[in-house]
Structure 1
Amino acid sequence: MSENHSKGGKRRAEVLDPETRTEIASNAAQERWKQEKTLPKATHIGEIKIGDIELPCAVLTDGSRIISESSLNRIFSTATGGKQRQLRKESGSNLPLALSSKALAPFMGGVFEERELLPVQYKDGRRKHSGYNASALPKMCEVWLRARDAGALQKQQLHRAEAADILMRGLAQVGIVALVDEATGYQAERDKDELHKLLSIYLAEEKLAWAKRFPDEFYKQIYRLHKWPWPPSGTSKPGYVGKLTNQLVYEKLPQGILGELQIRNPKKEGSKHRQWKHHQFLSEEIGQNDLRDHLLLLVTLMKISPDWNTFMVHFEAAFPEPGQQVPLAL
């Protein structure tokens, strides 16, 4: 705002009567209150630590992952916030302070998506904050590193590029969204939501009528590999076969499915047996088809195995536990 405009505004305010000035101030306050009321809220907050760098972050009600503007300014801005904001206002630039150095301008082309550099206003309790979408952080680092590699930075700016290098190395190991989710505790919420979505499509809303889902060949191969005689018709299978069925089949369904099946199909009171079969609770479109494909693969692995130990090597290679080292077949 120019000095003439400022003086003009003061003169206009002086000629207004007190009631009018109060009304204008009240309307302005109400407008600010309305705007703040519509701001997204931070549902989860935390701090990412990469080396000695700390980045306050948040997850908002709309699912946006946000990095604090003040932390980005502290890492990348080459002047104080007040001075930089004045320079940005005078130049008409909408760039973040973290990218407002003139030395970076030649290296900005094609890096950011439309609206990716717009600041995001949000509330954490009663306090209002400003930040940027977390997806912009690796790209900000890229711009600084491009400028450094081209020799475009001044000596006093090089430590900003060093910080960008540290951040990029850290982000190369774990994605920025995953880091925000872990730092804010949103990961557990996200996993819970993903599990809910999975259960809704993998399990049936109502228990299905019984139908034969496990082929006889599945059990015949279990008996063959253990060198057990096939039982006469009408003879029930030993409990150990049921344990093997859980181990080979239900424990290998997507994580969370077996736990929900056990809730929906509890053991009968005073008994080790369940009233129904777990597969009666799998949805026809997704769960039953996945079960069928899994059983076909198991039977194939069994058929190419001469004994149970060999089969288990094949089984563990096909369905490794998280972090498990798969043995090599020699």
Structure 2
Amino acid sequence: MSSSPQSDGGKARANKLTKEERSEIARKGAMKRWEKEKKLPKATHGSSDRPLRIGDAEIPCYVLEDGRRVLSLRGMISALGMSGGSSSGGEGDRLVRFTDGKTISQFVSQNLEEKISNPIRFRSPHGGGTITGYDAVLLPELCEVVLEARQAGALQKQQMHIAQQCEALVRSFAKLGIVALVDEATGYQAERDREELHRILEAYLAEERLAWAKRFPDEFYRQIYRLRNWRWPPVGRAKPPVLGHITNDIVYDRLPPGVLNELRRRNPTKEDTKRRQWKHHQFLSEDFGQSDLKDHLLQVVAVMKVSKTWDGFKRNFDEAFPKPGTQIEMSLEDNE
């Protein structure tokens, strides 16, 4: 193979450089590449050791720092049963050439074409360089295109095995959904749940304890006393200890998961009295928590009024307002 004058000149210049100069050029080149890679998004979850398993396919999957769920390009190519890419373009070139082909391109939307032409480059969560991938939802979109082409009789004989792979993948997607699959495989599901809980608590709870104000109407207690066959009104301010248990059960424990636990953390019992210094509702946010509490109490009282016995009320109430998440053990303290 003949060389060009430019390449010959480059070799001649390189031969004139000292070992130190060549090392410095190599170092600067490496630094330039590193600076470029630092600008790429980084994966926070996922690794090649914990792939997404769908049937016989194993696809390395990741969650990026901006929340995008990404599948490894190489894993997608393998899962689709495609052969490797060309020497110049690799797997990315193989995928582009497949969707640009005469048999498939007529079924590929412009949006999907743009996605395939712009793979996502990102940094591995544990070092080890960069990875090329695609948004996880691209895989089911591509599978639908291939199956549509097969339905129309447009696939070539040598492409039918790809359609079979797509059919198997789509069946799995229909069971769980691609995003849920990636979250489970990467371990991001637990963090996602924590973030959701954080958002709920942020909306429900006040940054600072609010001044006491009457939040529980007398009718709430009057109905409890009626259904429990207790004497009304109570003598002085004395209330049965079990009233705190009831209040937690039918009010605070029916709020979103995690709210009651956080209220208990912010408003702990005092060691000497075994009672709480403040009322739980003083820690609910005015714009959301207090409003939701008021609406809930109105509904509780309504169910009480149409009930003849406490057991009947509890059956109706538990059906209408099932406890979210795992049942929490409740204390017997007064916490109106």
Q: Paired residue for 2:215?
A: 213
CA distance in 2, matches of 1:117, 1:172: 26
CA distance in 1, matches of 2:212, 2:116: 53
Report the AA paired with residue 39 of structure 2.
T
Alignment partner of 1:158 is 2:160: yes
CA distance in 2, matches of 1:301, 1:173: 38
CA distance in 1, matches of 2:36, 2:86: 24
Q: Paired residue for 1:137?
A: 139
Alignment partner of 1:58 is 2:55: no
The answer to whether the 8 A contact 1:220-1:230 is kept is: yes
Paired residue secondary structure (2:122): strand
CA distance in 2, matches of 1:222, 1:11: 95
Q: Paired residue for 1:10?
A: 7
Q: 1:97-112 to 2 correspondence within 5 Å? A: 99=99, 101-109=101-109, 112=112
Shift of 1:214: 0.6
CA distance in 1, matches of 2:324, 2:99: 41
Q: 1:78-97 to 2 correspondence within 5 Å? A: 78-82=82-86, 85=89, 96=96
CA distance in 1, matches of 2:172, 2:98: 19
Report the AA paired with residue 226 of structure 1.
R
Query: Gapped runs of 5+ residues in structure 1?
Result: 325-330
2:273 pairs with one of 265, 271, 274: 271
Report the AA paired with residue 239 of structure 2.
K
Report the AA paired with residue 16 of structure 1.
R
In 2 relative to 1, CA 321–168 (structure 1 residues): closer, same or farther, beyond 3 Å? farther
The Cα RMSD (Å) is: 2.8
Q: Paired residue for 1:34?
A: 35
TM-score w.r.t. the length of structure 2 is 0.84
Shift of 1:75: 2.3
Length, aligned pairs only: 317
CA shift digits 1:152-201 (9 cap, x unpaired)? 12233222212212222221222222221111111121222222222222
In 2 relative to 1, CA 303–28 (structure 1 residues): closer, same or farther, beyond 3 Å? same
Instruction: Calculate percent identity across the aligned residue pairs.
Output: 50
Alignment partner of 1:19 is 2:20: no
In 2 relative to 1, CA 321–291 (structure 1 residues): closer, same or farther, beyond 3 Å? closer
Shift of 1:143: 0.9
Paired residue secondary structure (1:234): coil
Alignment partner of 1:76 is 2:80: yes
Shift of 1:229: 2.3
Q: Paired residue for 2:176?
A: 174
